[in-house]
Structures are given as structure tokens and as C-alpha cells.
Amino acid sequence: MNPEDLKKLEEKFDSSTKTGMVFQVLKDHQWHCRECEYKHTGITQIAGGSGIQGLQRGNRSRLGLVIESGNHFCEKCDRTTRHDRWQGQFQAAVQAASMPSKFVKRAVALLKSRDVIEGTERPTNQLTIDHKLPMIRWDEAMARKQTNYAEMSDQFILRHFQLLKKSNGSVSHNLLKSRACERCFRRRERGTPFGIRFFYSGGPDWEPKDRKDATGCRGCGWYDFDKWRIALNKKLKEIP
């Protein structure tokens, strides 16, 4: 990107906002460590909506940024950590509408306040309402479907959402899923929750040519953990 275009892009960010501060770190197209290079932003989960995902999504005034992530050695941390790099490329903006409180109450009730991974009932403030289909797989039409909260039927909510446990001092399940989905989007290698290499549909590789084809997520445990667990238990029963 030439200096003039970069300057125009910078003007779209408020450098006092968290997303703007993250962009200032990534604008040089170099690898940057999540552990030590963003402390000034005050963001606890740099991969989230105020950080990396926020830049990837874009908004009404700018396109989303194509950002790759990987594990690299950080000289400052003296260990291998998670790094991100803006490739200098752009993608269509996908805006994330915040979930209205009325929808949150409704979704949690329909999903019975159940942490889908641990199978435990939890209070709402300990749960994240997770879109089964990760945002990086949305096209514009899917974005409208996934965020039209006021018009969603009960069946749609049960089919497209699950409840994940928020962080209680350790890494949240939502963050683990986000990292797996980022890696899959970049490398076409599907996720293996907690190292368990099982898929109830398809195999370890992302199969569709179109990275936005939602069918490629089917069979992955992070996509629908409940369905994945049921299929895994059924498979184990078949073993003599």
C-alpha cells in the first residue's frame, strides 16, 4: 500500500479507540505479538471485536482487513506466542450488530442456560451466545440472517446458536473456537476440539472452494459441539 492510500485509511480510524490503537500496531504489515505489543490498548482478548476481529469485519466506512495469525517466537517475551499480521489486503465488510437484551434473554432461555461444552447450567453473565457459523465465514446475505435478531424464530435460534462459557480466569471456550476458526480459514485445516480428531461429516480439511460456503463447517466440533459429541459417543459405542 502506498503512503497516500495508507494515510486515507488511517483517517477512517479514531486513534483514541481500541480498534484504532490495534490498527496502529498492525499497519506496518509486520508480525506482532499479542502478549506484549497491545498492553497500551487495555484489551484483554486482542482477538475479539475490539481488536483483530473488529478490523477483519470492517464497517460502513471501510472494508475489512485481511489479517493472518500464527505462532512465532517473540524476543521480548522470550517464548513462542500468538502473532498477527495485516497482509495489506481487504475483504468485504461484515458488520456485527450487537445482540439486544431481549434477544439475549430469549436465546439463553431457549438454550436452557446450558454451557454446551461442559453440559452445565450457568447464569447468563457466565455465558457467551455463540453463532455456530463463525463471522469470518459470513457473506453479506448470511450476515443479515445471523444478525436479524428481532425476526428470528425459535427454530432458527436453536439451529444457529449455542452457549459457551466465558473466561473465569482461564482462556474462554469462545476464544479457543475463534482461534480454531481463524486457523481453518487461513490453512483450510478444520478444528479439533481439545485435540480430538473426529468429524461427524467430512474430514480434517476444509473442502468447499468458497471460503464462505457454510457447508464446510458441518462435522466440526466447534461448529456444533452438541451434535459432535452425540456423534462421537455413538461412534465409540460401535467399537467392539
- Three-state DSSP state, 57: helix
CB 109 within 8 A of CB 103: no
Per the document, the length of the chain is 240
pLDDT tens, 77-87? Answer: 999 999 999 98
φ/ψ (deg, to 5) at 110: -65, -35
Average pLDDT, the chain: 89
Residue listed under C-alpha cell 447450567: 121
Residue 115, exposed/middle/buried by CB under 10 A (0-12, 13-18, 19+)? buried
Quickly count: other Cβ atoms within 10 Å of residue 35's Cβ. 14
* Cα separation, 93 vs 54, whole angstroms: 10
* Global confidence as pTM: 0.67
In this structure, what C-alpha cell is assigned to residue 187? 490453512
Quickly count: other Cβ atoms within 10 Å of residue 236's Cβ. 9
* pLDDT of amino acid 40: 93
* pLDDT of amino acid 57: 78
* Cα separation, 197 vs 28, whole angstroms: 37
DSSP lists the bridge partners of residue 72 as 81
- Three-state DSSP state, 175: helix
Quickly count: other Cβ atoms within 10 Å of residue 238's Cβ. 6
User: With a cut of 70, which residues of the chain have pLDDT below it?
Assistant: 1, 60, 92-97, 168-171
